Chain A
Amino acid sequence: MEDELFEQRTDLSKLNTAVEQIKATIAKIIVGQHSSIDLLIAGILADGHILIEGVPGVAKTLTAKLIAKSIEAKYSRIQFTPDLMPSDILGTSVFNPKTADFEFKHGPIFGNIILIDEINRAPAKTQSALFEVMEERQLTIDGKTYKMEEPFTVLATQNPVEHEGTYRLPEAQLDRFIFKIEIQYPSLDEEIAIITRQHQHKTTDQLKDITPVLSGGEIVALRQQVLGLHVDEKLLIYVAKIIHETRNNKSLYLGGSPRASLAIVNSAKAIAAIKGRDFITPDDVIYVAAPVLRHRIMLTPEKEMEGVTPDDVIAQLIQKIEVPR
């Protein structure tokens, strides 16, 4: 009946087909993790960088690699280590004896889909090399600015900060990730399915049969479509109230930034598009609130000692705000 009453203003069929194809590709190898995969796709459609966190062995890197392989674009992988230097990521000027001049040698950051594995194994000096490129999609080296080619998305994986040999990422860098997706342990049924599917694998390269379902250009076009979706003013105020509450909440030492507000709106649009709507609802906002905010907010030391998690605080503060209706 709703189809008779409300004719779709935006044709989202191509987007929905692409999303289903990506999901099907990932499901060939990954068992479960449906919510995380939805968020990964939403993050890419919202033109954001994504941080994936989980204990070792829960297929963080594999999921990120599958997403990257599903898109036909220049893919780079950087393994972060404690001795990695900024020039190892960005590139450096090298003297060419033939031309008697310095030439810029591009680093692995010059790509479309960049997988940074174990991002929190490198210290703050190396992390800060990513600030400009992640936010402004450009690099300035030796006074020259290099624009990144679109699409440009960083998919980073990390172990929880409590683990050995890890550094906490700088707040400025965390704020540049649209989502922090937490990969949980699989359920018992999923664990059985993983073992059943994997124990007879004879090859280590599981990704060789994966074929891309979208080109880089198509991703850019879909992003433009997503960013153009309708957001009612009531919902903009609702998002602003949520972010404002993070700044006034007594359990929090650091609240959300305006970048977080934009991240909620843009990612809620992507979720709405995945669900086949060209407008967002409060449910979309609530769905993305935790992944957008959990790495941006900081708990007070007392709350950390009490064992309260950022997700608990986010759930509590959302309960204080009336849903626009």
Chain B
Amino acid sequence: MLKLFTITAALMLTFLLLSTAFAVSKKQPAKIKPDTSKVQVKIFNAQAIAKFKADKDFKYNGNSPDRISVWEVFWNWLWNAISNFFNRIPFGGTIVKYFFLALAAALLIFVIFKSLGIDAIRILRGEAQKINVPYSESLENIHEINFDDEIEKAAAQHNYRLAVRLQYLKCLKQLSDNNLIHWQIDKTNAAYLYELKDPEQKHIFGLLTRQFEYAWYGNFLIDKQAFTSINELFQNFKNRLP
């Protein structure tokens, strides 16, 4: 068995050596071709080189800033002072780094909010945006109006709607002065009507309220004749007050 293995191995080795030798013997020697292409020699522009050589920016050996302005001196001093101060504190450099990063972030957020018109302080406080609603006929203090003059003026200008309104406000003032109603800006006419206790006063004031509401909220047209009738009703009511 060992003999057979030895013979087989010897045969295989012989075959391998013979095949390699045969392959090597068949290979042709390499031929080197001469390079015959034309080479164009490029020459640097002498003028350009001279210009670059003359430029001080390209002179690297031993160059230092010629002059430092006072402003630069100040900033150098400031940064050195800050740097020295923080270097004395443990982790001072890290604090400075994060401080300026936070400052830059805050500045960026501020610029974005400003450009978008957002009020950051209001948002932080959790408040909604306040808008002033225009209201031309904001309530006057009825205790400060000279009603007789104003009513006369409105009637003279044929503004009977306004005259009825002023008559009604005058009526409310009279009721308030007589402590029959408690004047408050948020109360409606129905609330004042409810406050009146005397049935007769209540009835006439109810009629006056209707006239006022038709004229003022209903935008009904009032002529001189209608105004005279309403005026009489107001005078009648005034006479019944204590």
Contact = CB atoms under 8 A, between A and B. Distances in A.
Interface of A: 1-2, 4-6, 9, 230, 232, 234-235, 237, 240-241, 244, 247-248, 250, 255, 277-283, 286, 318-325
Given A244-B131, A281-B189, 19 more contacts: A1-B233, A2-B210, A5-B222, A5-B229, A6-B214, A9-B220, A241-B133, A241-B135, A248-B130, A250-B127, A277-B213, A278-B218, A279-B219, A280-B217, A281-B188, A318-B186, A323-B185, A325-B165, A325-B169
Interface in B180-223: 185-190, 207, 210-211, 213-214, 216-220, 222
Contacts of B169: 325
B57 interface: no
Q: Is the interface of B mostly helix, strand, loop or mixed?
A: loop
A206 B138 CA distance: 53
A321 B185 CA distance: 7
Interface string B111-135: 0000000000000000110110111
Contacts of B218: 6, 230, 232, 277-279
A241 B190 CA distance: 20
B224 to A, nearest CB: 12
A283 B188 contact: yes
A282 B207 contact: no
Contacts of A235: 217
Contacts of B78: none
22 contacts: A1-B233, A2-B207, A2-B210, A2-B211, A4-B229, A6-B218, A6-B220, A232-B217, A235-B217, A237-B134, A248-B127, A279-B217, A282-B217, A283-B190, A321-B186, A322-B138, A322-B185, A323-B185, A323-B188, A324-B135, A324-B139, A325-B216
B128 A248 contact: yes
Contacts of A322: 138-139, 185-186
B226 interface: yes
B155 interface: no
A87 B27 CA distance: 86
A9 B210 CA distance: 15
B137 interface: yes
A324 B229 CA distance: 24
B130 A325 contact: no
B154 interface: no
Interface residues of B, number: 34
Contacts of B188: 281-283, 286, 323
Given A5-B214, A232-B217, A240 B133 contact: yes
Contacts of A286: 188
A277 B207 CA distance: 14
Interface of B: 127-128, 130-131, 133-135, 137-139, 165, 168-169, 185-190, 207, 210-211, 213-214, 216-220, 222, 226, 229-230, 233
B186 A320 contact: yes
Given A230-B218, A234-B137, A281 B186 contact: no
Contacts of A250: 127
A110 B165 CA distance: 50
A237 B219 CA distance: 16
Which interface residue of A232, A255, A283, A320 has the most chain B CB atoms within 10 A?
Answer: A283
Contacts of A9: 220
A247 B106 CA distance: 29
A254 to B, nearest CB: 10
Contacts of B131: 244
A241 B138 CA distance: 12
B81 to A, nearest CB: 48
A322 B142 CA distance: 13
A94 to B, nearest CB: 49
Contacts of A320: 186
Contacts of A277: 213, 218
Contacts of A248: 127-128, 130
A237 B133 contact: yes
A250 B128 CA distance: 9
B211 to A, nearest CB: 6
Nearest to A240: B133
Nearest to A9: B220
A244 B217 contact: no
A6 B139 CA distance: 26
Nearest to A5: B226
A4 B228 CA distance: 13
Contacts of A5: 211, 214, 220, 222, 226, 229-230
A319 B186 contact: yes
